[in-house]
Amino acid sequence: MLEVKQLSKSFGQRQVLTDLNLKVNQGDVVVILGPSGSGKTTFLRCLNHLEKADSGQLSLADETYDLAKLNKKEILDIRKKTAFVFQHYNLFANKTALENILEGLVVARKIPKEEALKIAQEALSKVGLLDYQDYYPSQLSGGQQQRIGIARAIAVKPEVILLDEPTSALDPELVGDVLGLLKELAEDGITMIVVTHEMSFARDVAKHVVFMDAGQIVEEASPKDFFQQPKEERSRQFLARILSDATYSLEYMI
């Protein structure tokens, strides 16, 4: 489905990503964990060419791309096969929930308006917001706005959805709603790569956990192996800091 080889990225003299490799199978939910500044978001953005990689190869749905030398057609092709869910929603403030979804279908993908309307309403129904289709972002809660962002992503039927900390901008009581929706999408077999700090989501929903630090992949494992028996000392340090001592020793190390 998706494979990345030798992806590197720097900003000026600062090396942010170094020779990253990742393979994602169809239907997988891959969760990327790591401390702030480890390069997680930059990695995700490079996959969708929101940031240009210095080097690296992306294989996606039987096509292979040189990420450092993409032309406009290849960039468009990648973006047609992927969808990005942003940390801060990135909705058009002057468009309704329905119009935010229609934009990508009609303008970017040239789907006829009547067909696009049906697709958009189905996506809104999927995230439980069909009754809010005429609301503007300012009239919606943060959780509702993020669900609109997810509806916009699933409406275009991408090969893979890239989610950059989709709950980090939400009030705590809204996090569960969005995570619950992502769990439903996972159960539907939608392929996702998710950057998150939500350990419960990584443990319960992910098929594969990737731990990053200092621009490199330190460890890859199943959720069970990562949380119960991390192989790398850096992974153990991260878990010990993120999780309380009691939770870590009693729940994950047994």
The CATH number given to whatever domain includes residue 247 is 3.40.50.300
How does residue 245 score in pLDDT terms, banded at 50, 70 and 90? very low
Number of domains the chain is built from: 1
Assigned domain for 98 exists: yes
pLDDT of residue 244: 61
Q: 150 is written with which tokens?
A: 């997810």
Q: Kindly state whether residue 131 falls inside one of the protein's structural domains.
A: yes
Residue with tokens 């720097």: 10
84 within some domain: yes
Question: Which of the four pLDDT bands, split at 50, 70 and 90, describes residue 243?
Answer: confident
C-alpha dihedral sign at 22, 149, 33, 209: negative
| pLDDT tens digits, 171-223 | 888 888 899 999 999 999 999 999 999 998 999 999 999 999 999 999 999 99
| 246: confidence class by pLDDT, cuts 50, 70, 90 | very low
Q: Is residue 116 part of a domain?
A: yes
Residue among 92, 93, 115, 91 nearest 105 (CA): 115
Instruction: State how far the Cα of 101 lies from the Cα of 114, in Å rounded to an integer.
Output: 13
Domain containing residue 98: 2-8+25-252
The verdict on residue 77 lying in a domain is yes
In a domain, 166, yes or no: yes
Q: What are the tens digits of pLDDT across the range 8-53? A: 999 999 999 999 999 999 999 999 999 999 999 999 999 999 999 9
**Residue 114 neighbours by CB distance under 10 Å:** 7
Q: For residue 141, give the amino acid letter.
A: S
- Spatial CB neighbours of 164, under 8 Å, sequence gap ≥ 6: 41, 44, 45, 84, 85, 86, 87, 195
**List of long-range contacts for 33-38, beta carbons under 8 Å, 24+ apart:** 33/196, 33/197, 33/199, 33/202, 33/209, 33/210, 33/211, 33/212, 33/238, 34/211, 34/212, 34/213, 34/218, 34/238, 35/213, 35/238, 38/212, 38/213, 38/214, 38/215
**Residue 16 included in any domain:** no
Residue 15 covered by a domain: no
| 205-236: burial string, b at 16+ Cβ within 10 Å, e else | bbbbbbbbbebbbbbbbebeebbeebeeebbe
In this prediction, residues 69-89 reach a mean pLDDT of 94
Instruction: Name residues whose C-beta falls within 8 Å of residue 160's C-beta, 6 or more positions apart in sequence.
Output: 1, 2, 24, 60, 81, 82, 83, 191, 192, 193
